[in-house]
Structure 1
Amino acid sequence: MPTTRDPASQDSPSLVLPASLDLTQAEPLCQALRERLQDSALCLEGSAVERVSTPCLQLLAAAHASARARGIPFRLHGASAVLVAAIADLGLSTAIPLEV
Structure 2
Amino acid sequence: MREEDQDLSSDPRPTVLLGRRLRFEEAPGLAMLLLGKRGAALKLDASEVSELGTPCLQVLLAAAVTWRTDGEAFSLANPSPEMLATLAQIGLDAGALNSEGRPE
5 Å matches for 1:13-92? 13-38=14-39, 40-92=40-92
TM-score normalised by the chain length of structure 1: 0.86
Structure 1 counterpart SS, 2:97:
coil
- Percent of pairs identical after alignment? 33
Stretches of structure 2 lacking an aligned partner (at least 5 in a row): 99-104
- Alpha-carbon separation, structure 2, partners of 1:50 and 1:27: 19
Amino acid at match of 1:16: L
Contact 1:68-1:74 at 8 Å conserved across structures: yes
CA RMSD in angstroms comes to 1.4
Return the structure number with greater strand share. Answer: 1
Paired residue secondary structure (2:33) = helix
SS at match of 2:66: helix
State the number of aligned residues: 95
Q: TM-score, normalised by structure 2?
A: 0.83
- The superposition leaves residues 63-100 of structure 1 with CA deviations (integer Å, 9 ceiling, x where unpaired) of 10000000000110011001111112112335324xxx
Contact 2:14 2:41 in 1 (8 A): no
C-alpha distance in 1 between matches for 2:22 and 2:90? 15
